[in-house]
């Protein structure tokens, strides 16, 4: 028997069809990869901006809590080093000599082009001097600021740069408004503030090109060199550039993320260094608000290193409005004298005993502490002044002419009743004057200069 096999057709893609398919897939992938690259770049820029802003907020919170700026940390300290993320000592200028490059401590310094008059040596016993402030440049002291380590890096792995007017970051000094020394310019070197060289601190992230940035190991990834705009931000000096992002390759390229603290951003209050429930105003004597609030800066001295009991913390000229309780343990006059505890005004349970009449006032008396250590502490005691009658009268010879603020107004209205007056007669008219009261009458023959009264 003859068996025939049926032919089966075997189909497939030709080389031309495969090539066309590969091209189509390539085009689709290229578009998707480009979209992903743009999305990823946007996310990295967003993350970097978030880190820069959070670092700036942490610095401002540190200022408000401590009364001085934090000093920059080392940019070159490795993660296993104690100096990593810890502020350097801004009172020691030898750590950061002025000039290009970083010192052995991983920080640098530039000299401001502005002259300021301030307490540059953190010694309140010496007068203010006029000088060019130094600007210290380094890394974010995240340990000092008590923030997560990741915030000291941008999204590209570079350490964020923190620069500050150096004498404002002296822990022995005090906050002084309006004396910043950092110069901030645009890409054309034009100052961005009305007062050049007046910024207190600045925070800069190197960005995608890593220019001049230091990585996690403390090594510089890309040298600070070239002709792009952002080279200025990795040069160790007192000038920084802030501008719009430009991705075009060339001299106009700029990808740094920058934020800075201007003189108007200065805090008005700080917490006490010894008691966090106490606050001190940092404003100089000047009008702050509509109710004319005056502040007296808390000053440091050898006898008062913690700004305690150093005079008035708040002066108010005008109205004081409080929604709730106003509490104080001491009330003084404008010269910080005649102080008393407000409890002496009324005390607690001050009243008139039954049958003693009505209260017409209170009296206070201070009972000092006894001579023995076991004696109770001194105190002020308040007693009620009680009376069954209230009387108001005029001096002898005067009569009441009216009432003002609850008290009678008195005067002499009859000649001769108060003494010290005189009378003058012309013709039949007599004028009598006594204690500011003048009366006129007509009678009898004329006489002149006749005194009345004793």
Mean pLDDT for the stretch of residues 263-277: 60
pLDDT for 11 equals 63
Task: Point out the least confidently predicted range of 38-52, 85-99, 255-269.
Answer: 255-269
What is the Cα–Cα distance from 248 to 340, expressed in whole angstroms?
Answer: 70
Distance between CA atoms of residues 42 and 388, nearest Å:
84
Q: Rounded distance, CA 222 to CA 250, Å?
A: 17
Please write the tens of the pLDDT for every residue from 10-32: 666 778 878 888 888 888 787 77
How far apart, in Å, are the Cα atoms of 135 and each of 47, 66, 145, 175? 27, 20, 19, 16
Of 389, 416, 419, 414, the residue nearest 401 (C-alpha): 414
**pLDDT value at residue 434:** 47
pLDDT exceeds cutoff 80 at 344: no
Highest mean pLDDT among 48-52, 395-399, 424-428: 48-52
Question: pLDDT at position 163, please?
Answer: 97
Query: What average pLDDT does this structure show over 262-268?
Result: 62
Cβ atoms of 74 and 104 closer than 8 Å: no
Q: Report the SS3 class of residue 288.
A: coil
- The b-or-e profile of 258-271 (16+ CB within 10 A means b, else e) is bbbbbeeebbeebe
Closest CA to 338 of 366, 299, 318, 357: 366
Q: Could you give the residue ranges of the DSSP H alpha helices within 127-239?
A: 142-145
Using CA of residue 306, residue 138, residue 101, residue 192, what is the dihedral sign?
Answer: negative
**Percentage of the chain lying above the pLDDT 90 cut:** 37
| E strands in 85-152 | 108-111, 116-118, 129-131, 134-139
Give the CA-trace dihedral at 110, 115, 120, 124, to 10 degrees: -170
Residues 6+ apart with CB under 8 A from 30: none
Q: What is the DSSP string of 397-417?
A: T-EEEEEETTEEEEE--STTS
Residue 310 DSSP SS3: coil
Q: What is the pLDDT of residue 186?
A: 94
Read off the DSSP letter of residue 106: S
More confidently predicted of 173 and 1:
173
Residue 273's contacts (CB-CB under 8 Å, 6 or more residues apart) are: 66, 67, 306, 307
Q: Please indicate whether residue 61 or residue 10 has the higher confidence score (pLDDT).
A: 61
- 281-327: pLDDT as tens digits: 555 443 333 333 333 344 444 444 443 334 445 555 556 677 777 77
pLDDT, tens digit (0-9, with 9 covering 90-100), for 125-152: 778 899 999 999 999 999 999 999 999 9
What is the model's pLDDT at position 453? 40
CB 124 within 8 A of CB 163: no
In three-state secondary structure terms, 279 is strand
- Strand, helix or coil for residue 36: helix
The pLDDT tens digits of the residues spanning 88-108 come to 999 999 999 998 889 999 999
- Which pair of structure tokens corresponds to residue 217? 């190991």
For residues 391 and 400, give the distance between their C-alpha atoms in angstroms, rounded to a whole number.
13
């Amino acid at each position: 028997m003859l068996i025939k096999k049926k032919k089966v057709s075997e189909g497939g893609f030709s080389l031309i069809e495969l090539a066309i398919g590969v091209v189509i897939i390539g085009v689709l992938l290229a578009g998707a990869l480009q979209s992903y690259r743009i999305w990823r770049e946007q996310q990295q820029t967003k993350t970097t901006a978030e880190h820069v802003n959070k670092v700036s907020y942490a610095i401002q919170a540190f200022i408000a809590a401590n009364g001085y700026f934090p000093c920059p940390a080392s940019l070159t300290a490795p993660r296993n080093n104690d100096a990593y993320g810890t502020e350097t000592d801004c009172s020691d200028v030898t750590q950061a000599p002025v000039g290009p490059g970083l010192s052995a401590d991983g920080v640098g310094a530039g000299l401001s082009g502005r002259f300021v008059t301030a307490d540059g040596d953190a010694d309140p016993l010496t007068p203010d001097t006029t000088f060019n402030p130094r600007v210290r440049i380094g890394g974010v002291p995240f340990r000092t600021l008590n923030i997560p380590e990741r915030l000291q890096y941008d999204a590209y792995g570079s350490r964020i740069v923190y620069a500050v007017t150096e004498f404002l970051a002296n822990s022995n000094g005090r906050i002084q408004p309006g004396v910043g020394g950092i110069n901030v310019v645009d890409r054309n070197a034009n100052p961005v503030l009305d007062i050049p060289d007046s910024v207190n601190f600045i925070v800069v992230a190197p960005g995608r090109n890593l220019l001049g940035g230091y990585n996690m190991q403390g090594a510089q990834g890309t040298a600070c060199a070239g002709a792009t705009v952002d080279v200025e931000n990795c040069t160790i000096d007192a000038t920084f550039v802030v501008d719009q992002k430009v991705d075009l390759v060339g001299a106009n390229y700029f990808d740094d993320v920058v934020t800075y603290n201007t003189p108007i951003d200065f805090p008005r209050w700080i917490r006490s260094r010894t008691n966090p429930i106490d606050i001190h105003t940092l404003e100089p004597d000047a009008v702050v608000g509509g109710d004319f609030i005056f502040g007296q800066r808390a000053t440091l001295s050898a006898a008062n290193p913690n700004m305690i009991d150093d005079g008035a913390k708040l002066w108010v000229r005008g109205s004081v409005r409080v929604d709730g309780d106003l509490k104080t343990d001491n009330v003084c006059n404008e010269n910080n004298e005649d102080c008393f505890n407000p409890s002496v005004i009324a005390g607690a349970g001050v009243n008139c005993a039954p049958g003693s009449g009505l209260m017409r006032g209170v009296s206070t008396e201070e009972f000092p502490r006894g001579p023995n250590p076991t004696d109770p502490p001194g105190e002020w005691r308040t007693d009620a002044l009680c009376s069954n009658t209230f009387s108001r009268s005029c001096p002898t010879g005067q009569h009441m002419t009216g009432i003002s603020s609850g008290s009678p107004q008195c005067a002499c209205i009859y000649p001769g009743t108060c003494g010290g007056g005189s009378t003058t007669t012309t013709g039949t008219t007599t004028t009598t004057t006594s204690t500011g009261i003048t009366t006129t009458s007509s009678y009898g023959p004329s006489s002149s200069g006749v005194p009345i009264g004793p």
